[in-house]
A = this chain, B = another copy of it.
């Protein structure tokens, strides 16, 4: 267990569904007021926009000009947190808790200039310490920051989690609590795998793999930040009592690794497309050049599989992208192969999903990969691509087979140990 250091603050983040109505904002304020009166007053609250509000604002700005500069986009969407943060401060006041709302520029949440996907560079904490000296609970707008030129920036979707962890790091907080609409991180999606279990303690490495593999509870940037600065992250349900089980993500004790579960979780990402470049000439730098074209367009490539045979002067390389990036990526690559006169062609396969198992115990348990492949093949599932790391194994399979694969792998690796 992590230890609460009473001289250190804690950061509590409340997501969009937790502040989605005035009633819910009020309920969150009641919880914070109870903590305040029980003596724990060194809390910083971080809030998201009311659920649905960010989408409404994105629709407005895309409606007026889908190609507007991201500076305008950021100014519009940051209005969502401006409203929720002041409403939360007003609700806390109503419940007798002195409170003060802070926007990004007011607190000094300084980011780089990459609008709509900015990264936090520094946070000034002096105003928060002043609040606590005066018995005031600060409420900080998530998702937003400000550049050195006073331009409003936003951190990208899920950015409020990142704001909360970054603030916890800057404050050297005891931990960062992510309050959301589920009880924590599960061994698999409970809507798909009926006996999925809440994971009460999870290592950063596992959480990071699960976040990037499609578990939607946490965004990977927030877990990355927690891992980098060893900031414990507690994921819990906003509207359940404190006694309810939750997930604590923290650094693993080296001793624990020996007894770590082989597989901590099974994740499914249904949003996968495979692109294959066929008939590429075998020439130095050609693969690097292909991925430079894609990276320049801001497309995130996930799995890359390349396995050249030595008896041909032509080769192929396959990789996966999210469905939203499909058409742009295809267009760019076709232009590239024409311009370079490569004689290659682009093949696209959609209707795919990616099933992954993640666990620290894999490092000390050989043979996990072969068990994964056998389980899937016994289910009659064909494997399109395979990608492995020290602590995860991912297979690209048919989209329709994703849910049965998740159930079979969960049964093999997790339910048996229950």
The residues of A with any CB-CB pair to B shorter than 8 Å are 22, 25-26, 57, 60-61, 63-65, 67-69, 71-73, 75-76, 78-79, 82-83, 85-87, 89-91, 93-94, 100-101, 103, 105-106, 150-152
A90 touches B61 (CB 8 A): yes
New A-B contacts (15) at CB < 8 Å, excluding given A22-B60, A82-B82: A22-B63, A25-B64, A61-B87, A64-B87, A64-B91, A65-B91, A65-B94, A67-B93, A72-B87, A72-B89, A75-B86, A75-B101, A79-B79, A105-B105, A105-B150
User: In the complex, what residues of B have CB within 8 A of residue A67's CB?
Assistant: 93-94
A76 to B141, CA, bound (A): 12
Q: Chain A interface mostly helix, strand, loop or mixed?
A: helix
A76 touches B83 (CB 8 A): yes
User: In the complex, what residues of B have CB within 8 A of residue A64's CB?
Assistant: 22, 25-26, 87, 90-91, 94
User: In the complex, what residues of B have CB within 8 A of residue A100's CB?
Assistant: 71
A72 touches B101 (CB 8 A): yes
A72 to B90, CA, bound (A): 6
A79 to B103, CA, bound (A): 11
User: In the complex, what residues of B have CB within 8 A of residue A60's CB?
Assistant: 22, 83, 87
Partner of A69, one of B83, B93, B105, B150: B93
B106 touches A90 (CB 8 A): no
A87 to B57, CA, bound (A): 10
User: In the complex, what residues of B have CB within 8 A of residue A65's CB?
Assistant: 90-91, 93-94
A75 to B87, CA, bound (A): 9
A357 to B71, CA, bound (A): 50
B68 touches A76 (CB 8 A): no
> Which 8 pairs, one residue from A and one from B, show the smallest C-beta to C-beta distance?
A68-B90, A75-B86, A65-B94, A65-B90, A79-B79, A72-B86, A72-B90, A76-B86
A61 to B82, CA, bound (A): 12
User: In the complex, what residues of B have CB within 8 A of residue A101's CB?
Assistant: 71-72, 75
Task: For A76, give the chain B residue with the smallest CB separation.
Answer: B86
Query: A253 → chain B, closest Cβ, in Å?
Result: 44
A57 to B22, CA, bound (A): 12
Query: A66 → chain B, closest Cβ, in Å?
Result: 9
A124 to B136, CA, bound (A): 33
B75 touches A82 (CB 8 A): yes
Q: For A67, A68, A94, A105, which residue has the most chain B Cβ atoms within 10 angstroms?
A: A68
User: In the complex, what residues of B have CB within 8 A of residue A76's CB?
Assistant: 82-83, 86-87, 90
A409 to B138, CA, bound (A): 58
A103 touches B83 (CB 8 A): no
Query: A289 → chain B, closest Cβ, in Å?
Result: 33
User: In the complex, what residues of B have CB within 8 A of residue A91's CB?
Assistant: 64-65
Q: Mind listing 14 A-B residue pairs with CB under 8 Å?
A: A60-B87, A64-B90, A64-B94, A67-B94, A68-B90, A68-B94, A69-B90, A71-B100, A72-B87, A72-B90, A72-B101, A73-B90, A75-B101, A76-B90
User: In the complex, what residues of B have CB within 8 A of residue A79's CB?
Assistant: 79, 82-83
A75 to B90, CA, bound (A): 11
Task: For A88, give the chain B residue with the smallest CB separation.
Answer: B64
A156 to B22, CA, bound (A): 24
User: In the complex, what residues of B have CB within 8 A of residue A87's CB?
Assistant: 60-61, 64, 72, 76
A82 to B94, CA, bound (A): 26
Query: A55 → chain B, closest Cβ, in Å?
Result: 14
Q: For A22, A75, A94, A151, which residue has the most chain B Cβ atoms within 10 angstroms?
A: A75
